[in-house]
Amino acid sequence: MTFLFTDLEGSTRLWEEHPEAMKAALARHDAILRAAIAEHDGQVVKTTGDGFHAAFATAHDAVDAAVATQLALGREPWEGTGPLTVRIGVHTCEAEARDGDYYGTGVNRAARLMGVAHGRQVLVSAATSELVRDRLVELLDLGEHRLRDLGHPERIFQLGHPELVREFPPLQSVDAVPTNLPTVRTELIGRSDDIEALAELVARERLVTLTGVGGVGKTRLALGVAATLAAGYADGCWLVELAPVAGGDEVVKVTAAAMRSPTTDLNALASYLADRRVLIVLDNCEHVLDAAADLVDAVLESAPDVHVVVTSREPLGLDGEQVRRVQSLGVPDEHADPNVARSAAAVRLFTERAAAVADGFEVDAGNVEAVVEICRHLDGIPLAIELAAARVRAMPPAEIAQRLDERFRILAGGSRRSQERHRTLLATVAWSHDLLTEEEKVTFRRLTVFPASFDLAAAEAVAGEGGVDVVECVLHLVDRSLVVFEPETGRYRLLETLRQFGADRLADEGETESIRERHARHFLGLVEHIAPGLLDARLDATQTILTVELDNLRATADWCAEAGWWRELAGMCQELWYFISGTATVDGAAWCQEFVDHGAEVVDQVVVDTLGELAFLHAVNLGNFATGITLSEQSRALAAAHQLEEPPIAWVATALAGQFTGDNATALDASERGVTAAEARGDEHIAVLALSTQVAPLAALGDFERGVDVADEAVRRAERLGQPVGFWSGSNNQYSRQRRRSTHNLHRQPHDNQAHSKV
């Protein structure tokens, strides 16, 4: 295929200066582009902002479309805006077609080619030039140029035509200015939008710091931004690598050497840059943060045309600093459609890197699930994904996925030339960890007992042993990119890779069991404190809290089972009954079963009640009617044998199982017994629930009037409680209207009892 990319030059300025005129102008621009592409048998793949991405079966058609576009744009009057100038890049390559789009490094090369052009200019690659020379097309050889994020240089040609502009400034490639930016040998995947947004920010602001966890791709992103902007800095675009620097006193010396400066004194360096237009990338500053901050502060104070991009695991803390946290690559949902999954950035990265070490590797129906699991468990961290992909040469993705719990052993290696701290996942995480204070290390490893997110109160309760200032440490860990803060929820979490690293440190210190116990005690206390809200007007708020904390509740239940805290486990189930029976059914059934199987050494009321709750979960929520009825009978038999109170929830389980299986007589009898048992125990909530289960059997058995009376009574009782336990909704007036309508229908069709029962 031959791909054509276009971009409208200066569109941001035009929109700001001529907002109304640009609406009509852009519509005309789009019409011209679409007509030229269609007339030459091209296909519009997609529009990109103010540009087009089109595909052609032949290079001839693509080049003809490019010429036709420029001629038509040049002849247009463009009233109200002045001339619209478009730059075009054309490249021929192989590409993968998927879901109406095209993927591959060749497609990116076409886009990068367009990116170094000027308005009214058409650039074609060497591959395209070879295919169109026989069409008497004039091709001006512009030489070899390095393009942003692409591994090898491209020989670029300018398309000539008698009616097209011929003279242009030098191409806006990496080679256009003095620079030491390295040649990048692999494509930067999934960061196009990030580069575009950051490039605009860096062009506008003088100091931008990219932070993020180790291995997330801060350096590659900074290099991509620098390559994009390099042409705009006439005096150079310089990369200063600070990772090898041992101490802060070497920062100025290394910076001066990278920039080919004649002086290594800080003040002299600032003076040297005073009248220069320069872009500096200070890479990996976290271990020399103070010295880097002093350097940047002095340079920005003296040199108004110097812009600085910093990569660090925490900000410099200077006035005017724009901090942007680099996020992990997009990871598909574990149940995503395979085609959607293959398009996700993390999966694309894995595919590209795996194909580089295992010829012919591709993600297909047989391995897509394993690849998605790998990317998800590695948190979308590019370094981790690249290290995992390198293992494809020796083991299939399914086996890599199975061994991810050993990630710090299996993901060792990497390129021989990569920095030592990036050669293994363990090394890059340890680099960050070693920069922490002792108190921060203690807090970090203790936070790993949280299986998912947590709030500051929980962090203090769990990690605060020994006088540690947990809040201050958590805030510092966020700054150091070892803890993620989620502004939308106000909660914190650790990436799984960091959590596993910290959990290993926790085990090394012999603290695992004691901190897990503190975690369990905190959440048992939380349950005891907020569970009453499930029975009153606080229902919604309480359920929201419990849903957010569900992973922590699961960890608490696991600890209770492992530690033999059977009464605590049963107590948690009973406190959370209305939450378990509505939201966390599978978890609740497992917790109840664990207690019944292991914690029932002496039969007492707790055992009987838990067995009744388990019966309800099976019969009602899980659809295991026979199991639910059996468990219900067992609970009542135990109660009778040991002179204990019958669990009313067991009768409700039998009632609903009977209703669902069409045994309405049994259902009605059981629900009546449930009401009696609940009232005997003073449990009005279960009494209302049991009462409500009588309505459907009564209707099915044809006793409509009694059914209506029971329904009214159930609603009255629920409203007196102030909380209908999730079985009713709306006001009494709404219910009454629905009741009258339903009763009317029942009387009209009195013989269709079975149908009404099913409904």
Model pTM? 0.67
Mean pLDDT of 704-723: 88
Give just the sign of the alpha carbon dihedral 348, 349, 350, 355. Answer: positive
Give the whole-number percent of the chain exceeding pLDDT 90. 58
What are the beta bridge partners of residue 493? 484
Task: Give the pLDDT of residue 727.
Answer: 44
261 three-state secondary structure: coil
Please tell me the distance from the alpha carbon of residue 123 to that of residue 116, in angstroms, as a whole number. Answer: 9
Per-residue pLDDT of 265-310, as tens digits, reads 899 999 999 999 999 999 999 999 999 999 999 999 999 999 999 9
Task: Give the pLDDT of residue 668.
Answer: 95
| Encoded tokens for 52 | 């087009």
- Higher model confidence: residue 37 or residue 430? 37
Q: Under 8 Å CB-to-CB from 551, ≥6 apart: which residues?
A: 451, 452, 453
* For residue 203, pLDDT beyond 80: yes
Task: Give the pLDDT of residue 193.
Answer: 85
Task: Give the pLDDT of residue 428.
Answer: 80
Mean pLDDT of 43-58: 92
* For residue 99, pLDDT beyond 90: no
Task: Give the pLDDT of residue 421.
Answer: 47
Task: Give the pLDDT of residue 723.
Answer: 61
* For residue 600, pLDDT beyond 80: no
- Higher model confidence: residue 426 or residue 384? 384
For residue 492, give the DSSP letter.
E
Amino acid letter, residue 647: P
- Higher model confidence: residue 163 or residue 407? 163
Please tell me the distance from the alpha carbon of residue 300 to that of residue 449, in angstroms, as a whole number. Answer: 43
- Higher model confidence: residue 137 or residue 216? 216
Please tell me the distance from the alpha carbon of residue 266 to that of residue 263, in angstroms, as a whole number. Answer: 8
Task: Give the pLDDT of residue 537.
Answer: 80
Mean pLDDT of 349-375: 90
- Higher model confidence: residue 397 or residue 752? 397
Alpha carbon distance, N-terminus to C-terminus of the chain: 58
Give just the sign of the alpha carbon dihedral 383, 389, 394, 400. Answer: positive
Task: Give the pLDDT of residue 150.
Answer: 65
Neighbours of 475 (CB within 10 A): 15
Task: Give the pLDDT of residue 309.
Answer: 98
- Nearest 10 degrees: Cα torsion 241, 246, 252, 256: -50
Per-residue pLDDT of 256-267, as tens digits, reads 989 988 888 899
